[in-house]
A and B are shown apart, each in its own frame.
Chain A
Amino acid sequence: MEELKKEMDTIQQPAFECRKLTMRYGKTLALDAVDLTLMPGRIVGLLGPNGSGKTTMIKLANGLLQPTSGEILIAGSAPGPESKSLVAYLPDRDFLPPYMNVTQLLEFYSDFFADFDRERAEKLLDSLGFEPKQKLKAMSKGTKEKIQLVLTMSRRAKIYLLDEPIAGVDPAARDFIIRTIIGNYAEDALVVISTHLIADIETVLDEVVFLKKGHIVLHKQSDEVIAENGKDIDHVFREVFAC
């Protein structure tokens, strides 16, 4: 009974919560008193043009930046070792040690992340035909991005924060990335995908958050947005963010 109660509390607890979250870079206001609550078991599109504050919000959630004011909570806790064990983060850049090969990267993830499913990662890497002893620095940009995605999505995390996972890749790679995300996340997890390339991912989104100059201008279920506007999310995005 106690366990069931605990589980119900966990289910109802927001996975991601911003309370009056504000971030300034000098005179530039990147996020302005943002309030946002995201529940587990959803795939959420964090959508906005470049400079709207998407990456800043994701960095704050990972403790890579400290907010100017307000707070950000991951499963009820401020970013720290506990929240980091729940979050699988894919940054918008190369972040793996270039001197490691594929096998060493698998060992590294197994060493540090208790939720890392090595078997799943090996299967995915096998399907892509990676040489286990090939060093990262000898790989192309596209190949490195695939490895980064496979390692991130092979964690059985509670929250996936994916920052621009489909930016700057060819259409075939884009399909692979979307397939990998959809085919590997845990169903009770929250998946946040930040992007400005809406058309490719809008069919997989449960919710959308439009971020404009540090403010949330829309946060709704995808179905609602489509029904209310009579057009797809990509077209709504273009109208909201028209220059």
Chain B
Amino acid sequence: MFRKLLKYDMKEVGMVMLPLYAAMLVLAAAAGLSMRFSIMKGTRDFVASTVPGVVTLILMLVYGALILGMAVMTLVMTTRNFRDNLLGSRGYLMNTLPVTTQSQVLSKSLNGLIWIALGGAASAVSGTIALLFIMRKQDWAEFFQTMNEMFGDRMSPWMMLLQLVILFVLGALQIVTKIFVSISVGNLWRSKRGLGAVLMFVGLTVLQTLIGNRLTHLTPDASISYSLMGNGISMVFGLNGGEAGLFTARQMGFAAGQDIVYIVLFLIGTIWVLRNKMDLQ
């Protein structure tokens, strides 16, 4: 039953997201080709008021807006998938299926995670497509040389990627489950349920920040914790100890551990509220 639930959840979100991914890939290729054309024409400064330059600029702007829109839509669609199917009018169907509340909540959570991961993958693939059009062989060689000078033998780029993926996955799941528990608790209000959900989300975020600060006082290893963006930025820009490098096992343990604890708590909270306090209006 869980697989069937996930199948329908993915279909629902996919109807909106897949065309967006396709548009991103097409635009990335078009922007890359346009920039390549500008470069071949000798207009490396593509902001210059030449026609190819302006077209390239517009394509790049639209592509950037599309990536931003895709990120926002991923969050909107996974949130709507949860709210509309379990607490909206469709809840009259979904909550009367012969499946457990756990299956429902886990299916929605996994669905959110999958679409966040697919969004990340689509962004990476489209960016690579654009670069393949823009960069020549010697540009790639220069790029890899620079990367090598930056990281040297201090760290493996694959290890860094693995750490980033782990933190990204856990961070994304933590945000998705926090949204779900906030909506569920907000639904307990007789009216203004949306406001209730927002207040719950803000309250949880403040609480997490306080806990994070407390942990940082206890051990500096906790200082990279609980912020997905913070983790990625500090790693890529070398803010981890002043230079680019891998997180230590203890740092990873603190960051991942906190996320896992929050995910479990948010899931338990959501399931408990839906099972014991369900109030479908």
Contact = CB atoms under 8 A, between A and B. Distances in A.
Interface in B1-50: 1, 4, 8, 12, 15
Contacts of A26: 190
Report the interface size class on chain A: 20 to 34
Question: Which of B8, B89, B90, B92 has the most chain A CB within a 10 Å cutoff?
Answer: B92
A94 B89 contact: yes
Question: Which of B1, B8, B91, B93 has the most chain A CB within a 10 Å cutoff?
Answer: B93
Interface string A121-156: 000000000000000000000000000000000000
15 contacts: A63-B96, A63-B278, A64-B91, A64-B278, A64-B280, A80-B100, A81-B100, A84-B96, A87-B96, A91-B92, A95-B92, A97-B12, A111-B4, A112-B4, A112-B98
A64 B96 contact: yes
Contacts of A7: none
Contacts of A87: 96
Contacts of B229: none
Interface of B is mostly: loop
Interface residues of B, number: 22
A84 B95 CA distance: 9
A95 B84 CA distance: 10
B99 interface: yes
A81 B277 CA distance: 17
B97 interface: yes
Contacts of A62: 95-96
Given A59-B280, A63-B95, A81-B99, A95 B89 contact: yes
A92 to B, nearest CB: 9
A48 B277 CA distance: 27
B16 to A, nearest CB: 10
Given A65-B280, A87-B96, A95-B93, 16 more contacts: A62-B95, A62-B96, A64-B96, A65-B278, A80-B100, A84-B97, A85-B98, A89-B96, A93-B89, A95-B90, A96-B90, A108-B8, A111-B4, A112-B4, A112-B98, A113-B98
Contacts of B276: 66
Nearest to B103: A81
Nearest to B97: A112
A99 B4 CA distance: 17
B274 to A, nearest CB: 10
A7 B226 CA distance: 57
A187 interface: no
A110 B268 CA distance: 30
B142 interface: no
A175 interface: no
A135 to B, nearest CB: 11
A194 B232 CA distance: 57
B281 to A, nearest CB: 10
Question: Which of B190, B276, B280 has the most chain A CB within a 10 Å cutoff?
Answer: B280
